[in-house]
């Protein structure tokens, strides 16, 4: 069964956004122009734009036009960082230490990441939430998709803003798998907590505008002071 026409229009526009032909913040052609260029009805172009807006790739400004979304520190944190204080408020994370190394990809990383990379950058960051909670985070990305990343250390606080600005890679969705663990000796020392204290561990796979997996991230934090907030619809 062929894709509905509006999906073909969507894919074309996503391709242009992903390739950088339509960079973040740039204005999209009008429905009429898209219709004429791609040979579809204006209603089909409109349906494609409504879907792209629902997916967060573009946004409309009444009377001005339609624009490619830009990750800002604020919306990236709001959308992709679901760890909060028990009352639901955000403790903005600050960097304590960072180490980036290049290494061979593990089998699971090669199998999951787009392009089946042989080499990856492993970005290990220790961050502080509020005044006292430490938060451990390790991101793994392909070296070929993020050339020179190691020389950019220390990286900006919000990696996804950096990925978009420096590599035109726009993270649009992520899957997270959560579990509870007891702190082993290494993690107890890293987070400054007691051996055997309860921890939350989040394993994330992040996807770009073409829905390719571009980052694997493991996050660990003490369960005592923070919670994970999810919305089901």
Residues that bind its own copies (CB under 8 A): 50, 54-56, 79-80, 82, 86, 88, 172-182, 196, 198-200, 223, 227-233
Residue reference for tokens 């600050």: 94
Nearer to its own copies, 22 or 199 (CB): 199
Which contacts of 42-49 are long-range, i.e. CB under 8 A and separated by 24 or more positions? 44/5, 44/6, 44/9, 45/6, 45/9, 47/6, 47/9, 48/6, 48/7, 48/9, 48/10, 48/13
Coil, helix or strand at residue 78: helix
| Contact (Cβ atoms closer than 8 angstroms) between residue 191 and residue 134 | yes
Q: Compute and round to an integer the Cα radius of gyration of the chain.
A: 20
- Give the span between the Cα atoms of 154 and 218, in whole angstroms: 19
* Minimal distance, residue 47 CB to its own copies, in Å: 9
Nearer to its own copies, 107 or 180 (CB): 180
* Minimal distance, residue 233 CB to its own copies, in Å: 5
Nearer to its own copies, 47 or 127 (CB): 47
Cis peptide bond prior to 154, omega within 30° of 0? yes
* Minimal distance, residue 28 CB to its own copies, in Å: 19
* Minimal distance, residue 221 CB to its own copies, in Å: 10
Nearer to its own copies, 59 or 229 (CB): 229
- CA-wise closest residue to 73 among 165, 207, 209: 165
Nearer to its own copies, 16 or 46 (CB): 46
Nearer to its own copies, 154 or 198 (CB): 198
* Minimal distance, residue 133 CB to its own copies, in Å: 13
* Minimal distance, residue 179 CB to its own copies, in Å: 5
- CA-wise closest residue to 72 among 141, 138, 24: 24
Tokens of 219: 């996050």
């Amino acid at each position: 069964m062929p894709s509905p026409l509006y999906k073909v229009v969507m894919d074309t526009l996503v391709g242009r956004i992903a390739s950088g032909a339509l960079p973040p913040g740039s204005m999209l052609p009008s429905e009429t122009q898209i219709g004429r260029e791609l040979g579809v009805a204006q209603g089909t172009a409109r349906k494609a734009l409504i879907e792209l807006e629902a997916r967060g790739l573009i946004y409309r400004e009444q009377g001005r036009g339609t624009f490619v979304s830009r990750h800002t520190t604020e919306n990236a944190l709001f959308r992709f960082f679901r760890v909060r204080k028990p009352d639901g408020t955000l403790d903005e994370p600050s960097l304590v230490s960072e180490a980036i190394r290049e290494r061979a990809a593990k089998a699971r990383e090669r199998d999951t990441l787009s392009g089946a990379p042989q080499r990856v950058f492993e970005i290990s960051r220790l961050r502080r939430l509020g005044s006292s909670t430490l938060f451990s985070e390790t991101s793994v990305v392909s070296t070929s998709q993020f050339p020179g990343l190691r020389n950019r250390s220390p990286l900006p606080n919000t990696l996804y803003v950096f990925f978009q600005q420096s590599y035109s890679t726009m993270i649009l969705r992520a899957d997270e798998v959560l579990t509870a663990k007891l702190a082993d000796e290494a993690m107890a020392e890293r987070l400054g907590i007691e051996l055997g204290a309860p921890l939350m561990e989040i394993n994330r796979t992040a996807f770009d505008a073409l829905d390719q997996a571009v980052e694997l991230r493991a996050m660990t934090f003490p369960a005592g002071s923070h919670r994970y907030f999810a919305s089901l619809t």
